[in-house]
Amino acid sequence: MPDALFADPRLARLYDAFDGPRDDLDHYLAIAAELGAASVLDVGCGTGCFATVLAGAGLAVVGVDPALASLDLARAKDSRVRWIHGDATTLPPLQVDLATMTANVAQVFLGDDWEATLRGVHGALGPGGHLVFESRRPEAKAWEGWATTTHRVVDGVEERRELLGADLPFVSFRHTYRFPDGTEVASDSTLRFRSRAEIEESLVACGFEVVDVRDAPDRPGLENVFVARKVS
């Protein structure tokens, strides 16, 4: 089930404002051009930030997300994208050149759903198609920076983020939003921090070849960007 941050209509409408500029998206767009992709499946597309960038660059785009509130916002942004309510395991027949999972999408899969997602993506790719995604490096211990409660205010709405616990490979945290009328809505999230070796092993097990593992230019030293090719 998607986190309330994405599934609750009131919170989904805040997501883009609090997320701020997506400096990572230019990097993904450059990789799509590097790979010569003409069609892209954006897994966990959320409110459609990257899918709309791809569509604006002239690519054929499919965006899939299980959070209907986020997807409704995405649909309102761009009618050129084929928006699908669901996940990578419930896709209709597709043959795309590239599949992407930006931001923390690859880390929201906590158990067997990770390999199920990889197999679903594998089935949606055409021969020789690629999967590109990022994952935070466990050794960078990003959660240590989440241990102190942080506050931000955007358009009169206050956001508080706090670390709930780090029991590796799982790290849990909470976003709480206080609206001008005094109401509060909380969203709890958990991410799985996989090692590079664990991710590479899972990719190979699901029919991919790891072509490259790169540093994330927007978070140098903190994340790995995986480029994998469908081989079987």
Average pLDDT over residues 200-226: 96
Average pLDDT over residues 92-114: 97
- Supply the pLDDT for residue 214: 97
Residues of the chain with CATH 3.40.50.150: 4-137+194-230
What percent of the chain is predicted at pLDDT more than 90? 84
- Supply the pLDDT for residue 146: 84
Residues of the chain with CATH 2.20.25: 140-191
**DSSP, residue by residue, 111-165:** STHHHHHHHHHHHHEEEEEEEEEEEE-GGG-GGGGGSS-EEEEETTEEEEEEEEE
- Supply the pLDDT for residue 64: 98
Average pLDDT over residues 194-198: 98
**Strands 157-167 and 150-154, how do they pair?**
antiparallel
- Supply the pLDDT for residue 10: 87
Confidence bin at 232 (pLDDT 50/70/90)? confident
- Supply the pLDDT for residue 154: 87
Angle at 130 between CA 128 and CA 132, to 5 degrees: 170
Confidence bin at 151 (pLDDT 50/70/90)? confident
Nearest-angstrom CA–CA distance, 207 and 112: 16
Mean model confidence pLDDT for the chain: 94
Per the model's pLDDT, the better-predicted residue between 77 and 11 turns out to be 77
pLDDT at 6 over 90: no
| CATH number belonging to the domain at 140-191, selected among 2.20.25, 3.30.70, 1.20.1290, 1.10.3470 | 2.20.25
Nearest-angstrom CA–CA distance, 143 and 87: 27
pLDDT at 128 over 80: yes
CA dihedral 98, 50, 159, 68 (to 10 degrees): -80
- Supply the pLDDT for residue 147: 73
- Supply the pLDDT for residue 172: 97
- Supply the pLDDT for residue 153: 92
18-69: per-residue pLDDT in tens? 887 788 899 999 999 999 999 999 999 999 999 999 999 999 999 999 999 9
- Supply the pLDDT for residue 155: 87
- Supply the pLDDT for residue 18: 84
| CATH number belonging to the domain at 4-137+194-230, selected among 3.40.50.2000, 3.10.20.740, 3.40.50.300, 3.40.50.150 | 3.40.50.150
- Supply the pLDDT for residue 33: 98
